Amino acid sequence: MAVWALGLNHTTAPLDLRGRFAFALDQLPHSLQGLRTQLSLGDRQTPEAAILSTCNRTEIYCAADASALPATLDWLAYTGGLPSSELRSHTYTLENDQAARHAFRVASGLDSMVLGEAQILGQLKDAVRTAEQAGALGSTLNQLFQRSFAVAKDVRSSTEIGAHSISMAAASVRLASQLFEDLGQIKVLFVGAGEMIELVSTHFAARKPRSMAIANRSMERGEKLASRYGAQVMRLADLPDRLHEFDAVISCTASTLPLIGLGAVERALKKRKHRPMFMVDLAVPRDIEPEVKSLEDIYLYTVDDLAAVVQTGQAHRQAAVAEAEVIIDAGVQSFMHWMVQRNAVPLIQELQAQADTWRETELIRARKMLAKGENPEQVLEALSRGLTQKMLHGAMVELNAATPERAAQTIQAVQRLFLRKER
């Protein structure tokens, strides 16, 4: 069984390219079906598959009898409307133990922009749950991911990998505090109501801003989040007309097109008499048109712009990283041992079936001898001799037929199989 992974992340691909290959959670079942159909063309086995898509990465994990990395790359390139040759330079490919190691590092927060961040583990669990519900997950990937969750838990509980980490949410507040002297005097708008916006709104709420508002496509979900902090709720359709009311705008939705355009921001600045606006676009693809950043009174940050902020304190966690890597190494070895054992199952079953055939043959012969009235002691002797000869026949043939070049190797194999000392 082969396991492989193909991905692009914040270290290999720019933000706009990552946006072209982002998958919304509700798109994953259909995408998984398309991927598995594409990879099973010809005589290839339909693979197990899972897709992890976040603001910082898109990764495909697969398992089948044989690796199909080129076909996986072709499928991903097609979904983003890019030639495979162009996408290849922005991706990484991993197989077997290296694919397992990568999955374990991702789950543990070691491969994140925010070293040690915990959000990725929840996103990975969501991706696995979606793949399972779509019928795309089999025993191999299930083992891989369940073990990755266990390793991540061990890393969290046994090391300080998550200590001192600055999340994207905390980084947003830190940047806002550098622009505004008193966050208690600003009005904050959150666009979206997903997990990331929940995190950011919690951090801003702790600074007690003058007011907070939630703009979301689903008013019900927006109202649910707004009720926690006494925030207002508004429709996305009202966003262009009310944008000027807010000093800080943090957006993170699953929209495939920008929700806040250059023209809307220019009109908002004019109504604000060019008082500065702080904007954070945490979405991939972008929620805010990139041209907005060029406006003189706009301070716009993307997920990539926050990289320098979230790296603060990273030096304090290098020792914890080394400890985490030891735990991950053990997890990888355990998974690969399971893979080897699993691959040997058909052979074990075949050996057991052959042994049962030999046993049944000798029993039938022994019963016939007993029915003829032969001495039971002689019957038992014949039965044991017959079984022994059948069991040793293959080894004897190999020893006798071995060439001088392979004789030593054959002798060692027979010794390991038949002369192993009892423990």
Nearest CA among 24, 19, 68 for reference residue 45: 68
Distance (Å, rounded) from C-alpha 124 to C-alpha 28? 13
Unique residue bearing structure tokens 């090391």: 159
How are beta strands 277-281 and 92-95 bridged, if at all? unpaired
Nearest CA among 92, 106, 99, 102 for reference residue 140: 99
Give catalytic residue positions: 55
Q: Considering Cα of 181, then 185, then 189, then 190, what sign does the dihedral take?
A: positive
Torsion angle of C-alpha atoms 109, 113, 118, 124, degrees rounded to 10 = -70
Q: Do the Cβ atoms of 37 and 47 come closer than 8 Å?
A: no
Contacts of range 90-94, beta carbons closer than 8 Å, 24 or more positions apart = 90/8, 90/12, 90/13, 90/17, 91/6, 91/7, 91/8, 91/12, 91/13, 92/6, 92/7, 92/8, 92/9, 92/12, 93/4, 93/5, 93/6, 93/69, 94/4, 94/5, 94/6
Distance (Å, rounded) from C-alpha 167 to C-alpha 119? 9
Q: Which residues pair with 234 in a beta bridge?
A: 215
Q: Is the peptide bond before 346 cis (omega within 30 degrees of 0)?
A: no
Distance (Å, rounded) from C-alpha 205 to C-alpha 226? 11
Q: Considering Cα of 112, then 113, then 114, then 118, what sign does the dihedral take?
A: negative
Distance (Å, rounded) from C-alpha 385 to C-alpha 407? 27
* Polymer length in residues for the chain: 423
Taking phi first (over 0 means left), then psi (-120 to 50 degrees means alpha), and beta for anything else, what does residue 96 get?
left
- What are the strands, taking DSSP E only, across 255-346? 277-281, 298-302
In angstroms and rounded to an integer, the radius of gyration of the C-alpha atoms of the chain is 31
